[in-house]
Amino acid sequence: MRKEGNHNMKQKLEQIKAEAMEALGGVSASDALEQLRVKYLGKKGEITAILKQMGGLSAEERPVIGQLANQIRAEIEQAIAQQSKRLEAAALAARLELETVDVTIPGQTRKIGMKHPMYQVLDQIKDIFIGMGFEVVEDREVELAEYNFDKLNETEGHPAREWSDTFYFTEDSKILLRTQTSPMQIHVMERQKPPIRMVAPGRVYRKDEVDATHSPMFHQIEGMVIDKGITMADLKGTLSQVARQLYGEQTVTRFRPHHFPFTEPSCEMDIQCYKCHGAGCSTCKGEGWIELLGAGMVHPKVLEGCGIDSSVYSGWAFGFGLERLALAYFKISDLRLIFENDVRFLEQF
């Protein structure tokens, strides 16, 4: 009976082992593996159940069965560990497969912005002047009336100083949003000794109603050259060259007398219409010419006011509106389009 019990238990253990090995071989998920571990090795598992029956065995039989049970337990444990490793490796391989990046698939193109058309023109203008040895300077938009007007020889009573024309911050009309970039002439002359060659782009403000050609905020570019022996010929030569670089080699310029308080003599420069070449068309409003900028020889009073000896130094200055130039350049008909920032419009450039 005992001998039989022994034999039975041996058989039972071998059977458990065989079953367990087969089940383990077919397992393909880690939770199923864990279930098998509990089934065979757990506290209520099959091997434990066998061990619990060992009380009925003789003293000689017990170690034999015990040893066999332990050995089988160890073998099953090892098989589980092996299988667990295999499953982990398979899971990793599957994940790597899943996360593989196919570098040959075309990417999603992201929409990137571009420079505003007016600033594209500004860049071009800056490049032209930098190429001629000019320095680009930028400065404040809130100005003292002293710099915006007085030091530019625009004395009390000048129409540009009217409240209806200018954005003042204070009742005493001393601080304002600059109405022109010309105060940059003064700032540069005050902090820098000649020779000076500078351009100063920036925003300016005037109390204008918005329409197709006006805005209370717009951009100007100021330019100035101060050195010994500078004449009107330098002004004409330089600005004509700038016009040719902007509008093409064939561009014809003309200079008309004008008046600005801070230049003497003063002029305006026109270019012959690039569309009709002077015949008159809608672009030049039948004139044949397009007004581009105001300029002149820097007034001796302005030079002296900045501590520059006007008997030694002379110079010229110019200023023009950037929006109008961009409108003409891109053949845009309405100034408002420049500021509305409608992407459908801006994307065209």
Q: Which residues bind ligand PHE (CB under 6 A)?
A: 180, 182, 222, 260, 263, 294-296, 317-319
Q: What's the chain's Rg over C-alpha atoms? A: 45
The residue (of 294 and 305) whose beta carbon lies closer to ligand PHE is 294
The residue (of 72 and 267) whose beta carbon lies closer to ligand PHE is 267
Minimum distance of ligand PHE from residue 298's CB (angstroms): 8
Minimum distance of ligand PHE from residue 320's CB (angstroms): 7
Minimum distance of ligand PHE from residue 140's CB (angstroms): 16
Tokens found for residue 258: 């004008």
CB 298 within 8 A of CB 315: yes
Minimum distance of ligand PHE from residue 110's CB (angstroms): 41
Minimum distance of ligand PHE from residue 182's CB (angstroms): 4
The residue (of 17 and 324) whose beta carbon lies closer to ligand PHE is 324
* AA letter at 95: R
> Around 184, how many Cα atoms within 13 Å sit in the side-chain half-sphere?
30
Minimum distance of ligand PHE from residue 156's CB (angstroms): 18
Beta bridge partner(s), residue 270: 254, 291
- In this structure, the strands spanning 196-205 and 135-136 are parallel
Count of CB atoms situated within 10 Å of the CB of 161: 19
CB 197 within 8 A of CB 132: yes
The residue (of 305 and 319) whose beta carbon lies closer to ligand PHE is 319
| Residue written as token pair 């902090």 | 191
Angle between helices 322-330 and 117-131 (to 10 degrees): 110
Assign 312 to helix, strand or coil: coil
Minimum distance of ligand PHE from residue 196's CB (angstroms): 14
How far is residue 54's CA from residue 44's CA, in Å, rounded to a whole number? 15
Return phi, psi of residue 213, to 5°.
-125, 5
DSSP annotation of 166: S
How far is residue 79's CA from residue 295's CA, in Å, rounded to a whole number? 94
The residue (of 47 and 137) whose beta carbon lies closer to ligand PHE is 137
Tokens found for residue 170: 């204070």
How far is residue 119's CA from residue 126's CA, in Å, rounded to a whole number? 10
The residue (of 182 and 272) whose beta carbon lies closer to ligand PHE is 182
Minimum distance of ligand PHE from residue 136's CB (angstroms): 16
Q: Which residue is nearest to ligand PHE (CB)?
A: 319
